[in-house]
């Protein structure tokens, strides 16, 4: 959600008039993370397709820079199909334009 809020959206139920759902998720643990450590999260969108994209991420300990985990979350756009159902929808052009116009955050 922080990624979408960073782009200026209020929540997962109104991204250019559509909602988003997580289609899949994968994580690979690289080292142990411990209580009290502050994690730094790097995240970039990747692998766009007609209906969504992946958010690829890396977590590292802020103090040491040690990589803790990496992975990806598959995001799919959906619209209300009536009667409480949802139907996949194409990635909105306005979303792509906003993403391209937003400068990356330097670390």
Mean pLDDT within 16-44 = 94
- For the chain, first and last CA: distance in Å? 20
Enter the CATH code of domain 2-100.
3.10.129.10
**What six digits make up the tokens of 91?**
């990635």
Q: Where are the domains of the chain?
A: 2-100
Q: Phi first, then psi: give them for residue 93, nearest 5 degrees.
A: -60, -35
pLDDT at 6: 86
Question: What are the pLDDT digits (tens) for 37-86?
Answer: 999 999 989 999 999 999 999 999 999 999 999 999 999 999 987 777 88
Q: What is the mean pLDDT of the chain?
A: 91
């Amino acid at each position: 959600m922080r990624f979408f809020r960073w782009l200026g959206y209020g929540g997962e139920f109104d991204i250019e008039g559509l909602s988003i759902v997580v289609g899949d998720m994968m994580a690979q643990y690289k080292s142990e993370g411990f209580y009290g450590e502050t994690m730094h999260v790097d995240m970039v969108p990747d692998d766009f397709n007609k209906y969504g994209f992946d958010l690829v991420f890396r977590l590292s300990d802020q103090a040491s820079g040690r990589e803790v985990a990496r992975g990806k979350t598959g995001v799919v756009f959906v619209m209300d199909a009536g009667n409480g159902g949802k139907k996949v929808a194409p990635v909105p052009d306005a979303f792509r334009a906003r993403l391209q116009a937003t400068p990356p955050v330097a670390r």
